[in-house]
Structure 1
């Protein structure tokens, strides 16, 4: 008789989004944490593309997760979790933008250098990369809003034309046209000084990402306790 093999333990970090949602519906804090860490980057970039403001984009992330985690029953498995979360973040960001007074100027992006990276270059290389990212972020931030949002979703987050069109309620052809114009405007703004280095722009990682995840879980725990007391 062959010995029975013990089942291999699966780390929660290795679960797909659908399984993570199942765990989250059981109020598993680890599942909440992994979902936040997995989707922070995309949601932050999309919110920032709408608002052009780093602090407000971070606020949008918190509200997005609070809304999503308290409405998990509304999530349907046939949809992608990333798309569902992105739609919530977009609605939150667009709502905040509508509340702004027309006379309030959008904050400049100068000095926006991401402090966290998996790679730690030497001081000279770090300074060069920081200068490149800063220049690129200012150029992206200077795009007209319709082009900026499409550019971030398509070229930075690499969403498909179809997904971008659905999320923004646009025709696919309109998405393609706006992306083409955004790229052309960027080329003119950068004057061929930069290579295409988009993957490291507007980073949201490291301690900052962990801090937001913990803040969301802290707030969620309070709401869950209140819900249970009724």
Structure 2
């Protein structure tokens, strides 16, 4: 809990940075997600999740950038006796090298009374109308080891329209040798209104694990307030790492 609090507080403090750093970019958003999960013979476990999140990227020296993110989520549904609120936060240090951005990150998230701590590397390749992002990470909680790799492609159809598709794989293994693989696929779109800092977004995520006998579908919609330019400029300033 303390780890998550300090990570979230640091990211929240960075969100105030636009008043101080001219090249700062980022966003603050609110969202709603509906998910439907099957676990073995148990079908149709529904969950509603509401979230407030923020991300900010600030250049610190030369081609180096600090990116901070924080989120608070409230979840309720069939799997909860009562609603549950969780906090999460991340911090990344990256460097631009030509048309690439590379660096490392740390993330912390509340997880069933403990904290999931994750360390990883992130890399981006910038094209004229697209950004390719890849991450590799290691996380630990309750003596379980979680190894993950993710890839995402964002295509900027116009300055106001961002489309993306991604894939992720993770392996979870606990101290007694329990081993599970999880595959995740997602697609999304975001549209920024003309001459406005506001955008709306929607996304769909599918997750599957044969080892856990789990299959899940989720739909997410929301609105963001953006600063630091259009959607492509925001992402390329370091605020689109997807951590």
TM-score normalised per structure 2: 0.25
- In terms of fraction of residues, the more helix-rich structure is 1
Greater share of residues in strand: 2
Which structure carries more relative contact order (alpha carbon 8 Å, separation 6+)? Answer: 1
